[in-house]
Structure 1
Amino acid sequence: MKMEKVPTVTAQERRVRAVKGKPVFYDSPRIKSAKALLVAHLKQHRPPKPYDSGVRLRVSWLFPKGRHKGGEYRITKPDTDNLQKMLKDCMTLCGF
């Protein structure tokens, strides 16, 4: 799946506010935008019917060249565990 822009935010960056003294979590506009981008691309590839068994998911996150050389592991934010979580949540939303 080729995407125009790699998300640079993760679901772990959700915001919180207090409503009647209780925490309420919500997505920032950046998270909403990243999720919308993932969902738009994933919908094009969703299966005819949801999977009913386990699947193997292999993902390579490719980021624009910067401080890292090609093929070098990225150890800074965004954390790939949290990127995977957002991807999997969007896949579930799309019916995988």
Structure 2
Amino acid sequence: MLVRFVRMTFREEALPDFHAIFDRSKHHIRAFPGNRHLELLRDPDHPAVRMTYSLWDSADALEAYRQSELFRTTWAATKALFAEKALAFSGEKLEVLP
């Protein structure tokens, strides 16, 4: 299982646009083959920061999503709203809790 975090800092005036993009695409991302979970988080100390937390079957499943038209169009629209470059990182689960 692969855990993926993406931290995005938006221009404050662009937050409603981002939330609209996320609301339109979240069901499609959750239904993408290999995706097990997707959440949107807000940084309590930085109001313009949003993070996605997602679980993928494997690095290959995540890469298939990243090569998809769904990702390309969603990311292009999202990226245009950034105040600074996004940070993304992945980790493999070593321990799975029941």
TM-score w.r.t. length of structure 2: 0.29
TM-score w.r.t. length of structure 1: 0.29
The structure whose Rg is larger is 1
Greater strand fraction, Structure 1 or Structure 2:
2
Greater helix fraction, Structure 1 or Structure 2:
2
Greater RCO (CA < 8 Å, at least 6 residues apart): 2
